[in-house]
């Protein structure tokens, strides 16, 4: 944990969101506090964000994103001499493949991991992990019954 510099910031903003950056910088918007409702709710969100940082999800995501940019350049180069129609087909197939095939499942996997580790952190800190589902229900209710909005670190 020596490379981590934990920082916690509360920003006056109506967004119901929180996120973390690689290395331990965590940001809460005041808008999420109403949904958090109590200390257990805040700890559910905080545990989730700290878990993202501990698991270096931001850093991994950055690496994947850079790798994808690199591959895109390779794909563009590799198809340079192809007929325009074929080239478009290849790039479209590649583009869909790289987005749906790599980014989305990767992100969901990270969210699941962050939820899991977040609950353990809550328990270690002597908060009640059994309150976590109630927080997710409140999040769901405020977003009009859709899946709970994700506590996302900004995409790179």
Question: For Zn ion, what does the binding mask look like between residues 95 and 134, x meaning CB under 5 A?
Answer: ----------------x--x--------------------
Contact between 32 and Zn ion per CB under 5 A: no
CB of 52 to Zn ion, least distance (A): 5
| Side-chain half-sphere CA neighbours of 86 within 13 A | 6
Q: Residue count at the site for Zn ion (CB under 5 A)?
A: 3
Count of CB atoms within 10 A of residue 20's CB? 27
Contact between 151 and Zn ion per CB under 5 A: yes
Question: For Zn ion, what does the binding mask look like between residues 59 and 98, x meaning CB under 5 A?
Answer: ----------------------------------------
How far apart, in Å, are the Cα atoms of 21 and each of 7, 61, 90, 95, 155? 10, 11, 34, 26, 10
Residue tagged active-site, from 49, 120, 131, 152? 49
Which residue shows structure tokens 């989730």?
48
Q: Please say if 7 is a catalytic residue.
A: no
Contact between 28 and Zn ion per CB under 5 A: no
Cα 19 from Cα 10, distance rounded (Å)? 11
* Contact partners, residue 144, CB within 8 Å, separation at least 6: none
Q: Would you please indicate which residues are annotated as catalytic (active-site) residues?
A: 49
Residues in contact with Zn ion by the rule CB under 5 A: 111, 114, 151
């Amino acid at each position: 944990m020596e490379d981590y510099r934990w920082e916690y910031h509360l920003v006056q903003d109506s967004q119901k969101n929180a996120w973390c950056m690689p290395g331990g910088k965590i940001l809460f918007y005041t808008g999420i506090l109403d949904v958090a409702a109590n200390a257990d709710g805040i700890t559910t969100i905080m545990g989730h964000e700290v878990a993202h940082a501990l698991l270096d999800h931001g850093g991994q995501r950055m690496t994947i994103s850079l790798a994808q940019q690199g591959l895109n350049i390779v794909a563009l180069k590799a198809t340079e001499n192809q007929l325009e129609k074929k080239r478009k087909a290849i790039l479209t197939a590649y583009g869909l493949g790289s987005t749906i095939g790599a980014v989305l499942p990767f992100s969901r996997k990270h969210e699941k991991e962050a939820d899991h580790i977040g609950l353990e952190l809550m328990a270690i800190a002597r908060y009640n992990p059994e309150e976590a589902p109630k927080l997710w229900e409140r999040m769901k209710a405020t977003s009009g019954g859709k899946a709970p909005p994700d506590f996302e670190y900004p995409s790179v």
